Amino acid sequence: MEADSKTTDTLRNVELKAKIHGEEAFAHRVAIAKKLTGTDGTVITQSDVFFNATKGRLKLRYLKHKKSELISYDRPDVVGPKLSLYSKMDIDEPECLEQILSETVGVRGKLNKKRLLFLHEQTRVHLDAVESLGHFLEFEVVLRPEQTIEEGQAVVAEMKRLFEISDDDLMMGAYIDHAKHYSALSNSLKV
């Protein structure tokens, strides 16, 4: 198994995630993104396998049109803008790595999503349709080495305003946390 492109330095984002309620509201956010960036965005189909981790989160991301990635990230589970520290590497043989990690640390869960990616200055705007969970919007402000967390939070606040995101829509945690909650809730409702 060969990993040819790796990021050994820890990278930093300030992130914000929000639930988008319904197709019409999602389409409205897509229209805002198109107007803001002057592009139609890039459609990315992703399948994420989350593994058990003692610190942060570890996921293997299968991608259709480029190499798969192993991503390790750590961020607080709080509502609102938060610092995310992450490292990632390209993976040539993701199925082999998935088998090894599944057997050694175990799988926490799997998610499939269709992501519409827009780039605005130093912000990645993700408009996600997550299987069995719904629609979401995520901002990732990629911090430059000299930038402070507060500067990233200011960018997130402006993006939140532009995309008409209310505090009530903000989320904590990762999609996998909500998938586990959704699964547990569905199972508890079965008779």
State pLDDT tens for residues 17-56.
999 999 999 999 999 999 999 999 999 999 999 999 999 9
Q: Is the pLDDT of residue 7 over 50?
A: no
Question: What pTM was estimated for this model as a whole?
Answer: 0.83
Nearest residue to 122 via CA among 8, 14, 10: 14
Per the CB < 8 A criterion, the answer to whether 15 and 81 are in contact is yes
Query: Could you tell me the CA-to-CA distances from 92 to 9, 43, 69, 105, 112 in Å, in that order?
Result: 20, 22, 9, 20, 20
Query: Could you tell me the CA-to-CA distances from 48 to 35, 119, 139, 152, 159 in Å, in that order?
Result: 29, 22, 19, 26, 26
State pLDDT tens for residues 100-139.
999 999 999 999 999 999 999 999 999 999 999 999 999 9
Rounded to whole angstroms, the Cα distance separating 125 from 13 reads: 12
State the pLDDT confidence band at 76, using cuts at 50, 70 and 90. confident
Mean model confidence pLDDT for the chain: 89
Q: Is the pLDDT of residue 5 over 90?
A: no
CATH of domain 11-189: 2.40.320.10
Query: Could you tell me the CA-to-CA distances from 10 to 55, 72, 88, 126 in Å, in that order?
Result: 15, 10, 9, 21
Rounded to whole angstroms, the Cα distance separating 190 from 48 reads: 27
State pLDDT tens for residues 141-191.
999 999 999 999 999 999 999 999 999 999 988 888 887 654 443 343 333
Rounded to whole angstroms, the Cα distance separating 85 from 75 reads: 6
